[in-house]
Chain A
Amino acid sequence: MTESSSQKASVVAECLRSWNPQAIAKVIEFRNETTIVVPPNLFRAVAERCRADAQLQFNLLTDATCVDRFPVEPRFELNYHLVSIPRRDRVRLQVELNSQDPVVDSLVSVWPGANWLEREIFDLFGIHFTGHPDLRRILLPDDWEGYPLRKDFPVEGYRDVPTSGELFKKSSML
């Protein structure tokens, strides 16, 4: 991005710190990208602040995804990519989760667009989002076992598919 991106980054970090000193666990600067690591318990509050604060105005949630760092702990790393259309700025909110308890607050109440993004993460990584209105599998069949994008799931999948009955059951519920 532009040379002023590190200045912009400090604006975001400062703004969040002045609101709540605990809001930021760490700020990572890499290749002109700002990552703000947020403690899981404050995740939704920080997201709400990013959207509503007049200095930040991150009105578009563009992407949300997960990284599995198995066998390192904390194992899961959720990345939410935010865009501020009026300020022409981007930032990444990151939250780290342990394999014991991969649960985090859903951001659907902040950005309704998080709905399918979080369903995809739930489907492929098995992360649970509290407060999500419709947490079902989205790409895989409802009766699929396991979470394919986890590192302990083999790339070629498991070969022992059932020999009788329905192979895949797709959603029949609205």
Chain B
Amino acid sequence: MTTADTVTGTAKTMVLNMGPQHPSTHGVLRILLELDGETVVKAVPDLGYLHTGIEKSCEDKTYSQAITLTDRMDYLNPLGNNLVYCMAVEKLLGLEVPKRAQYIRVLMVELQRISSHLVWLGTHAIDLGAMSVFLYCFREREEILKIFEMFSGQRMMTSYIRIGGVALEPPAGWRPAVRKFLEMMPSRVDEYEALLTENPIWIRRTKNIGYISPEDAIALSMTGPTLRAAGVAYDNRKVFPYSSYEEFDFDVPTRTESDCYARYMVRVAEMRESLKIVRQAMQKISDEGPIKAEAPGIIPPDREKMKTEMEALIYHFKIFTEGFSPPPGEAFVAVESPRGELGCFVASDGSPKPLRVHFRAPSYINLQALPKLVEGQLIADVIACIGTIDIVLGEVDR
């Protein structure tokens, strides 16, 4: 940017390049800041450093193969990405998922929401100078990742949710493991709150910082905790329930201040709500029952059936060599990811590979509001504002 391009066009302002390797940009986000002293006059985000063409790659894979790509998008919410993609394909196919599998999905994505919020809280706090919170948050996140490893064999890129259900039967001993986590976690959330909620430094760094009005937030398509902290109770789990969320009893926390502090309070409250949902999901998951839909030719058959039934063996072979072909059409599904409305649009032309897969990435769209949050604020508050929108650059750039 040359001086002539700046807003004032005089030597009064200077341009600062922030990122793409700045630690507080949470990945590889670059922001061009025009500063007047310490005040931000203009901010222009520059993205794409992590663009990997996931949507294009999906078009070259069969419907089932594309699941593994979705894991790598929002790497703090791989199960949520699996879920939204699988639900979109299931909608195209008109497939009904068994209740038991739906509850297992809810259990997993709610644990994922807690772990994602933990990473957010830890990194946001470390950005603003509170080192110890980070260590505590990652300690608890580790426990959640151990549960994921139990279920799927993987800590992060689980690919556990599959088209028509989930990949594996819940492992032996999953109930005690989840119960142990549920017993430990509420007091741990209290601990984080004890460190931050009434901490004068924390309050000074976050209160009245990064305000956005609810009207502006909706106009800029913001969703998730950022929108709820502005007083709009828009949560897909309540407004357009999916995966049996209508059977769960939980609240949607909102605040009205719409600053960084309000967004912190909303996310902490969401962790407690998620714990409530996990507890209910655990009770709803029965010990016996199907974990995937019955759909020959689409869902791989059980190993047992494959060894005894000719048809099952043929279907298995066909699914893994050719894939399956949903009817031509388009489907859009949205779920509530830890960052907001995560949508998946899948278009089929009747062939075994998707015609188009598109993800409505909440990080990408929320990041659009960053200039609105930071312009007129001090440069130190830019860090607080980036942290508070909770972006994951893997999802922003896809």
Give A contacts to B, CB under 8 Å.
1, 30-31, 33, 35, 59-63, 65-69, 79, 81, 85, 88, 90, 92, 111-117, 120, 124, 137-141, 148-149, 153, 155, 170-174
Residues of A close to B219: CB separation below 8 A? 111-113
Q: Which of B5, B223, B232, B329 contacts A173 (CB 8 A)?
A: B5
B368 contacts partner chain A, Cβ-Cβ < 8 Å = yes
The B interface is mostly helix, strand or loop, or mixed, namely mixed
Residues of B close to A30: CB separation below 8 A? 329-331
- Size of the B side of the interface (Cβ < 8 Å), in residues, is 52
Residues of A close to B1: CB separation below 8 A? 172-174
Please state if B368 and A115 are interface contacts (CB–CB under 8 Å): yes
Interchain nearest-CB distance for B215 vs A (Å): 9
Please state if A149 and B221 are interface contacts (CB–CB under 8 Å): no
B276 contacts partner chain A, Cβ-Cβ < 8 Å = no
Please state if A85 and B239 are interface contacts (CB–CB under 8 Å): yes
Q: Which of A35, A79, A139, A174 contacts B48 (CB 8 A)?
A: A139
Task: Please indicate which of the listed interface residues B6, B30, B92, B221 has the most CB atoms of chain A within 10 Å of its own CB.
Answer: B221
Residues of chain B from 232 to 291 with CB closer than 8 A to chain A in the complex: 232, 234, 239-240
Q: Which of A35, A63, A172, A174 contacts B343 (CB 8 A)?
A: A63
Interface string of B44-55 (1 = CB under 8 A from A): 101110010101
A139 to B356, alpha carbons, bound, how many Å? 18
Chain A residue with Cβ nearest B331? A31
Q: Which of B42, B51, B329 contacts A140 (CB 8 A)?
A: B51
Interchain nearest-CB distance for A32 vs B (Å): 8
Interface string of B378-398 (1 = CB under 8 A from A): 000000000000000000011
Please state if A149 and B56 are interface contacts (CB–CB under 8 Å): yes
Interface string of B320-340 (1 = CB under 8 A from A): 000000000111101000000
